[in-house]
Structure 1
Amino acid sequence: MYTHMRRFFAINFLLVLTHAFYIPGFSIKSYHDGETIPLFVNKVYSDRSELQYRYADLPFVCPPTGRVHTGRFTSGASISLNLGEVLRGDRITVSDYELVMGNDEEALFLCSHTMDAAGIRKTKELIRDGYLAEWIVDNLPGATSYQTTDKTRKYYAAGFKLGEEVASKEGQDPQYFLNNHVTLVIRFHRAPGRDGRHGKKVIVGFEVFPKSIEAGHRKANGLPEDISNVAQGMSLSSQFHDEGSDNVTLNIPFTYSVYFREEDRLEWQNRWSMYFVAQDDSSNIHWLAIINSLVIAGLLTTVVAVIVAQTLHKNIKAGADGDKPRSNVDQRVKSPGLEKGGLLEQLSDAEIIGDASSDDVVVDDASGWKLLHGDVFRPPPHGGLLAPLVGSGIQLVLVALGLLILSALGLLNPSFRGGYGSVGIGLFVAAGLVSGYVSARVYKTFGGQIWQKNVFVTASLVPGLLFATTFCLNLFVWVQASSNAIPFTTLILLVCLWLFIQVPLVYVGGWYGYTVAGTWTHPIKTNSIPRQIPPQPWFIRNMQAILLGGFIPFAVIFIELMFVFKNLWQDKSGYYYVFGFLSLISIILLVTVIEVAIVATYVRLCSENHQWWWHSFMVGGSSSLWIFTYLAWYYFAKLHITGFVSSLLFFCYGFLACAVYGLLTGTVGFLAAYVFVQNMYAAIKVD
């Protein structure tokens, strides 16, 4: 009896948890006929500006009535957001629009709002810059409906226009028309399971059709006399701007229509697919990008295979055939007059063979990279900076892998608004433990003594760069009253995450890596005197090698970058969800970076240049230089961004993204080269 009661309470407890927490993308909200559906307003955005604005703060928006909707929603109240939503500029507010499941309304009056001259000028600017509004119903963004070029399928583009700019006659200012009426179409499907059997429905689509209707010819209730036959739109006449009077006002009536339509062919779990039809149509180009990447990666793989098979295997085989390199001590050369039992026996081996006390091997036919066996593991200059860079790079690698895996599993999806930012920051903070560990081991391998200093640099390098840049940009954005501005409380939260969670984790990882794990062991000891580096061929010199090595990974991701850039700065929807392609391209990119770093390091060692540590890191991350160059070209050739602040945001955030990417790929290149060099020189070690 006790067992059954315990099981009963456990099941009920799980059911309570299921209803208490909403899991984006997995929790289904069903509605019965007559139930009120809340409509939220979020923000406005444009492909001509990097500045977003809170919709509720716009000058033409009706002030909230404070009316309480069904449940806990009050008109004008702000919705609690996660960290990722705040960082992406979301500012969600409850609206006064009334949506009742199953009830069609041909026309409803919302309010009549009066704008002053400053509000009219601001509204004109928003319409001129092509701003789109984002509304939300059941976690779906309001969408403009389109058809594919062959007119066989319908697809959605998130957002709808605030108004229209109409060109006037030559010499006259253009006319601006504000969309003061919206037709809301809610697509629904029968709810799955028991809810469906009880007549409940789920929302699978939210379409918005804006319209401009003149203020005149209205009924007593504020509705147009004939909403389907409108002669003129709601014009923001140019005379208001020309007169320049601050006393000019304009009264604008706002109305809306609501229609519910059943969508039999679209299930709830596939409702987001309507937003990706356009991306699906470009799948052939994605496959072209993958084939291009595979060809480049295949050629590099062949080069690396040749290096390993013909060079390293040759040395191993020579040792197995008895042509094993001889020790230095066995190669003593007697001078005339030095006989056994005389002065020769009184001299040490080091005095006879010179400064080779730390050499393990000398090869009779030594040339190229074999001559560097006593210098190849010599600590690089400024190793105290390289170690934190590698540690921070490992941190970013773990974040990127975590996000790709969670996206592939479907746990991160577009319905989890702000999920990538929130989860990414969480993964970054947690990965501080591994970051401190790797950085400390590299630091000790380079001969570092003050591990606490290394921990501080590792813990503050990337967060410090990101926070300082974001804070400075915020000063410009705050002046513009944009929703891009991060609230001061959020900045304090980020600082607390850094100080009280990440820094301690980096400290623990650094302490363990430095004091317990210790240095990485090398197969060959280092000479006390560094070897002189001969003149280098032009293509191996630092800048040429870095640019050439970075171009190959850039060529791998070039086509996919075109889609990412288009989504971020032209579509501005934020819903780039071809993670199958993106994951595959990312894997090919990492393989390419690894192979490029190995080839570049091998060529450098063959030129008798033992300074490969920084070189491998720079070659691995150098594709970020090409990406930033492509970003600058894209700005001038493809985008129509105007204004100093928007341009500043574009280039600064683009620089941060490229710096983070370069740090990630640079770390991958460094570790790949290190493993390669370790195994290469282990093959000629004398036992």
Structure 2
Amino acid sequence: MALVVFFIILGAIHFVQVSVGSNINFTRVNQSSEINNKRAQNAIDGDLFSFSKTEIGLNESWWGTFEAPTRVVWIFIGVGQGHYSVFVGDNVTYQQSALCASVQTPSGSDITYSNSSCKNIVKGNTMTVRRIGNGSLVLYEITPVGCPQNCKDGCINGPCKECIREHYGPMCNKKCIQVCTDNTCDIEKGECLKENIVVAVIFGICVLVIIACGVGFFIKRRAKFIKLFKLNARPSDDDEIVVTYSRSERYVERPNTGIDTRAPAQVPTSPTSNCPVEYVHMIDGQNSPKLSPDELIKYLEKRQNEESLLQDLARLPGWMMGRCFEAEREENKAKNRSSTLLPYDRNRVVLQPMAGIDNTGDYINASYIAGHGREKAYILTFGPFSTDTKLDFWRMVWQTNSTCIVMLTALREGEKKKCLQYWPEESEECGPFFILIRNTETFEDYVIRHILLRKREETRRLTQFQLTTWGENKRRRKIDSLLRLRCHVNSVTYSDKVPTIIHSGPGISRIGTYISIDILLQKGSEDGVIDIIDTIVKLRSQRAYLLNTRKEHQFLFSALKAGFSHDSRDDERDEKDEKDDESIEEIYVNEHSKADVYYEDGEEVVLWMNTVGPYHNRQETYSYFSLPFCAGPKESIGHYHETLGEALQGTELEFSGLDIDFKGEVKKTEYCTVELNEEKYQAFVYAVKNHYWYQMYIDDLPIWGIVGEISENGDDYYVWTHKKFDIGYNGKQIVDVNLTSEAKKKLTAGAKISFSYEVHFTASKIKFDKRFDKYLDPNFFQHRIHWFSIFNSFMMVIFLVGLVSMILMRTLRKDYARYSKEEDLDDMEKDLGDEYGWKQVHGDVFRPASNSLLFSSLVGTGYHIAVVSLCVIVFSILGDLYTERGSLLSTAIFVYAATSPVNGYFGGSLYARMGGKVWIKQMMVGAFMLPVAVCGTAFFINFIAIYYHASRAIPFGTMVAVTCICIFVILPLTLVGTVLGRNLAGQPNYPCRVNAVPRPIPEKKWFMEPAVIIFLGGILPFGSIFIEMYFIFTSFWAYKIYYVYGFMLLVFVILTIVTVCVTIVCTYFLLNAEDYRWQWTSFSAAASTAGYVYLYSFYYFFFKTKMYGFFQTTFYFGYMALFSLALGIMCGTFGYIGTSYFVRKIYSTVKID
């Protein structure tokens, strides 16, 4: 299926690419020879499945004639293996001047598709394709393209050099990115180069001037700064597109494997060596040790030798290295227990037609495997898992004349079913076969069954060996039992010339381990030489994923040492390596963590139904089954809230009742029916009218679907009744889920509606730790605009900091000079002088702020919020908090509780320095200030949610848990921080004495009043993040999760810097007006930023969203008020911290009497 999809997509790309130019048609085609009816016409029939092919020969060729001499500027071509040249001339020609293009299929690929422009100016009535060297010419498709219709110069000098207005690109098929003054743009990039150059020069000059000023100032101040900025650039090349493809979608060369692609290719050995074999770089130049058994034992005794050999084996490619057309056919998929463990076409077991059996096809998932000195020594297959595969299994046994079956698994291991019992307890019929158990021998680790298999008049004897304790034993016991089983099997099959059938449960790792041990022990005993790497290379060339993990290699080494030494006792290091019994069924190579979820084939996959609600009101959600949906027939299972955040966010997981098994295909199946009475009918109609959608989870991956839709005339309402799940998996893990809603039914009172579902599993290359990346929505905004806004903000911050610093330092220098001059005057001159400025309030500037208890509590809370915000942002960047339900909120609550000492330390120490006495009260206020505001707002909204029966209603148990956290965690930790703060930093240390009597505040201009400064102080910080506000709001309120956390860190830094700078300037103006009330002013001026953010939330609600309803409105503005409150406290704290340092600095450097 994947192959078909690939060709369809490639065909679409081909159509789009050639349609923008002028396609050139052939009137007649021919080729130098023909084989198997692969005619020359197959290369121009538009069918990417068909191809023309010649006999094996030297420089085979294919040619086609045009209607008239034509200039060719572009070609689309698909060829098989080899090196090909394409020529255009008046007749068949191979002259270098007529060369249009050269195409070579990379090593390890069967097909190459190339879409590129001609290298030379070529014109003629004949196009010739020539295969260089000896071999068959294979041509899948070729399409010559003339000059694009949007080309301005008509391709007079070869490929198009200039497009008509408003177009660009090699085929002039793209619209210009920018509107240039002459309506033209650069043919490669689509940009206005002249305008861009002017803009770039002007912008560069401005930047250089700003940087020069800043550098000059900082050099003068003898400060050293280092700035590092990285910009990742992605090169693009539209001139040529080459697609490399192997006929099996899993057979591709993987990047970063450590394989040197320039190394000479190795040819894997195959039992069917006369079939085509795909060449793969198997060994990366490592020296494969060829050792005798005794030398091998000594070699592996050294840890470094074993590790070196393990690393060499790890570098071997483990993916598909052959075609699997038959296994991937739609009618054969049901016979595969796994969609990744497939037999190659070249060595698969082909079932022959058999009388008395319906035509079920010739396919079985089984491969011939070569042994030591025998081409078809083994048959690797799966244990039967259905009635059809059971019959095919016995057909294979009969057809191959096999006399021995080795079964490396129990029927069940733990709770997992490994294999169907395909033999009877005594006797039974299976199709045309009669199976009789003659007798059974039971040993400690395995069972031997002697079987009579009869078909009509012919009877055969065979022996089945079943290893029953693999899943229970430790490594040492496994090796003992496996070696004893092998000896017993070989005693029965010693003289056989027929293959031994070996199967396990759903995997092939045990089979690969058994076969490799058997081959290597035979080689060691008969030839005296062992080559482990060569053996594994040959095994993998016959079946993918054999011996593909480090644990399997270690197990193999231990088994070989035990087998050659005739001593099953592993050394101490082997026991140390295996901490516990490991499952050797792992067939994937991806690294994984303990939290990853793995599924066995056929294991249940749970579909959880979460919530349903209006699309535009993302927070107004209800239980999925609050609508008259129905559940499937499976027995219900319960779900509990895994995290506190999951409960607070209103997660309401309920079991769907649908039967989904890992890798189990489910055709369209009806699972329930709903009869629409008036109440249910009205419920569905209301949901469709309000654009309700629902959310589900499969393996923690969220899925969304729409309940229904309204007809174009608005009179009829429809509900979607069929859910189609497309689940992607990588190894034993689910990595992708997609839902398609189908089969809409008209809603009619009294009607019956049947709901159905289907499930399809598809192999995916997505890694488990990257499976949430598709939810990051990188196209939310164009990256260019997004990062330009960030760059713009940073440049503004740099300019602001430099400008403010230079102006302020210059002003302060003048103040210092003036005050120094006044110090030289005598008292009479001072009395006659006109003293003014910030120095005059030196005796009051460090006077405690009014209502110091509240002020210190706010500052302590601000420190706390800043630390929590920074920690959560950093954790989000370093981890994947968005991948688990409620994890972000849970993390924020945990960090807030754990960092409570920060609040107590800074709030308590500030209160002590201000001379506060009731520190217990201050500690209580600081500890509960924000939690009371949050809980009060949440509980108020909770009452509304309860009234609406919304899922956002917080359970009573969660309320109790939050209250306990506040009382038993936050309060004690805040107390600890307060005590530490009062003792370590609670002593006042001001550079000026505080006068006993406050100095009267003189009259001043209206714009110097604290209220005006506070009002204006938040404008600039808000302006610095204004552009980013829309990103932030949409990320949280519309659940548009993209790279918001790293973005938030930059916004956090910008806001902090701008807030501190603006607050320092405001404080300087206030002190210069001889007003010493700077503490509350600096805090409030910075905190006023939050007021502008809250005002922006009104604009966003009414103009940027479609939210409606009392519940959603209350929820939005309630929590936006909380957000603004927290932001205001944090910004106010930043403003106070920066201003406090500034005030201390200027008053410590001036002489005060």
2:1082 aligned with 1:616: yes
CA contact (8 A) 1:442 1:519 kept: no
Instruction: Output one character per residue of 1:536-583: Cα deviation in whole Å (capped at 9) or x when no partner.
Output: 3333333432232211111122222112222333xx336243323221
CA contact (8 A) 1:441 1:520 kept: no
Instruction: Output one character per residue of 1:395-437: Cα deviation in whole Å (capped at 9) or x when no partner.
Output: 101100101111221x243212211111101111122111011
Whole-Å separation in 1 of the counterparts to 2:606 and 2:1046? 34
Deviation at 1:106, TM superposition (A): 2.6
The aligned runs of 1:219-258 (5 Å cut-off) are: 233-237=744-748, 240=749, 249-258=750-759
Could you tell me which residue of structure 2 aligns to residue 403 of structure 1? Answer: 872
Could you tell me which residue of structure 2 aligns to residue 635 of structure 1? Answer: 1101
Whole-Å separation in 2 of the counterparts to 1:588 and 1:6? 56
What letter is aligned with 1:137? I
Deviation at 1:646, TM superposition (A): 1.8
Instruction: Output one character per residue of 1:103-133: Cα deviation in whole Å (capped at 9) or x when no partner.
Output: 3223012111334433332222222222221
Whole-Å separation in 1 of the counterparts to 2:832 and 2:1062? 28
What letter is aligned with 1:162? V
Whole-Å separation in 1 of the counterparts to 2:947 and 2:772? 36
Could you tell me which residue of structure 2 aligns to residue 220 of structure 1? Answer: none
Could you tell me which residue of structure 1 aligns to residue 963 of structure 2? Answer: 495
- Secondary structure of 2:1018 counterpart: helix
Deviation at 1:66, TM superposition (A): 5.6
Single out whichever of 482-491 and 34-43 deviates more from structure 2.
Answer: 34-43
CA contact (8 A) 1:114 1:250 kept: yes
Segments of 5+ residues of structure 2 without an aligned counterpart are: 1-570, 584-590
Could you tell me which residue of structure 2 aligns to residue 292 of structure 1? Answer: 792
- Secondary structure of 1:261 counterpart: strand
What letter is aligned with 1:300? L
Could you tell me which residue of structure 2 aligns to residue 18 of structure 1? Answer: none
2:1140 aligned with 1:674: yes
What letter is aligned with 1:52? E
Deviation at 1:308, TM superposition (A): 4.8
Q: Find the partner of 2:1067 among 601, 607, 613.
A: 601
What letter is aligned with 2:1013? A
Could you tell me which residue of structure 1 aligns to residue 918 of structure 2? Answer: 450
Q: Find the partner of 2:708 among 163, 174, 182.
A: 163
Instruction: Output one character per residue of 1:38-62: Cα deviation in whole Å (capped at 9) or x when no partner.
Output: 2111112434325533444323221
Instruction: Output one character per residue of 1:484-541: Cα deviation in whole Å (capped at 9) or x when no partner.
Output: 1111110010000000111111122222322453234111111222222223333333
Could you tell me which residue of structure 2 aligns to residue 106 of structure 1? Answer: 667
Could you tell me which residue of structure 2 aligns to residue 197 of structure 1? Answer: none
Could you tell me which residue of structure 1 aligns to residue 905 of structure 2? Answer: 437
Closer, same or farther: CA 481–292 of 1 in aligned 2, 3 Å: same
CA contact (8 A) 1:65 1:76 kept: no
Instruction: Output one character per residue of 1:313-349: Cα deviation in whole Å (capped at 9) or x when no partner.
Output: 5667899xxx58759xx95669xxxxxxxxxxxxxxx
CA contact (8 A) 1:25 1:415 kept: no
Could you tell me which residue of structure 2 aligns to residue 552 of structure 1? Answer: 1020
What letter is aligned with 1:273? D
Could you tell me which residue of structure 2 aligns to residue 187 of structure 1? Answer: 728
Deviation at 1:663, TM superposition (A): 1.0
Instruction: Output one character per residue of 1:262-310: Cα deviation in whole Å (capped at 9) or x when no partner.
Output: 234x333322222224446532222122123113312320233124532
2:715 aligned with 1:174: yes
Closer, same or farther: CA 303–520 of 1 in aligned 2, 3 Å: farther
Whole-Å separation in 1 of the counterparts to 2:687 and 2:989? 62
Sequence identity (%) = 28
Could you tell me which residue of structure 2 aligns to residue 147 of structure 1? Answer: none
CA contact (8 A) 1:185 1:261 kept: yes
- Secondary structure of 2:641 counterpart: coil
Could you tell me which residue of structure 2 aligns to residue 219 of structure 1? Answer: none
What letter is aligned with 2:1089? S
Whole-Å separation in 2 of the counterparts to 1:45 and 1:568? 17
CA contact (8 A) 1:593 1:668 kept: yes
Whole-Å separation in 1 of the counterparts to 2:935 and 2:947? 19
2:1150 aligned with 1:650: no
Whole-Å separation in 2 of the counterparts to 1:472 and 1:80? 22
What letter is aligned with 2:773? S
Whole-Å separation in 1 of the counterparts to 2:959 and 2:574? 45
Single out whichever of 472-481 and 600-609 deviates more from structure 2.
Answer: 600-609
- Secondary structure of 2:734 counterpart: strand
Closer, same or farther: CA 508–277 of 1 in aligned 2, 3 Å: closer
2:603 aligned with 1:135: no
CA contact (8 A) 2:628 2:683 kept: no
2:750 aligned with 1:282: no
CA contact (8 A) 2:914 2:988 kept: no
The TM-score normalised by the length of structure 1 is 0.78
Closer, same or farther: CA 305–182 of 1 in aligned 2, 3 Å: same
- Secondary structure of 1:174 counterpart: coil
Larger radius of gyration: 2
Closer, same or farther: CA 539–13 of 1 in aligned 2, 3 Å: farther
- Secondary structure of 1:37 counterpart: coil
Determine which structure has the larger helix proportion and give its number: 1
- Secondary structure of 1:663 counterpart: helix
Could you tell me which residue of structure 2 aligns to residue 270 of structure 1? Answer: 770
2:373 aligned with 1:373: no
CA contact (8 A) 1:435 1:506 kept: yes
What letter is aligned with 2:752? N
Q: Find the partner of 2:997 among 510, 526, 529.
A: 529
2:934 aligned with 1:466: yes
Whole-Å separation in 1 of the counterparts to 2:1130 and 2:760? 50
What letter is aligned with 2:871? G
- Secondary structure of 1:99 counterpart: coil
Deviation at 1:386, TM superposition (A): 0.8
Deviation at 1:612, TM superposition (A): 0.7
Deviation at 1:679, TM superposition (A): 1.0
Could you tell me which residue of structure 1 aligns to residue 851 of structure 2? Answer: 382
Whole-Å separation in 1 of the counterparts to 2:652 and 2:773? 25
CA contact (8 A) 2:725 2:760 kept: yes
C-alpha RMSD of matched pairs (Å): 3.1
Q: Find the partner of 2:655 among 94, 98, 113.
A: 94
Could you tell me which residue of structure 1 aligns to residue 149 of structure 2? Answer: none
CA contact (8 A) 2:775 2:1042 kept: no
CA contact (8 A) 1:414 1:577 kept: no
Q: Which has the higher contact order (CA 8 A, sep 6+)?
A: 1
Could you tell me which residue of structure 1 aligns to residue 357 of structure 2? Answer: none
- Secondary structure of 2:668 counterpart: strand
2:740 aligned with 1:209: yes
Closer, same or farther: CA 581–53 of 1 in aligned 2, 3 Å: closer
- Secondary structure of 1:126 counterpart: helix
2:1103 aligned with 1:562: no
Closer, same or farther: CA 4–419 of 1 in aligned 2, 3 Å: farther
CA contact (8 A) 1:276 1:577 kept: yes
- Secondary structure of 1:293 counterpart: helix
Whole-Å separation in 2 of the counterparts to 1:276 and 1:295? 27
Whole-Å separation in 1 of the counterparts to 2:751 and 2:955? 33
Deviation at 1:670, TM superposition (A): 1.0
Could you tell me which residue of structure 2 aligns to residue 52 of structure 1? Answer: 620
The aligned runs of 1:578-597 (5 Å cut-off) are: 578-597=1044-1063
Whole-Å separation in 2 of the counterparts to 1:440 and 1:4? 59
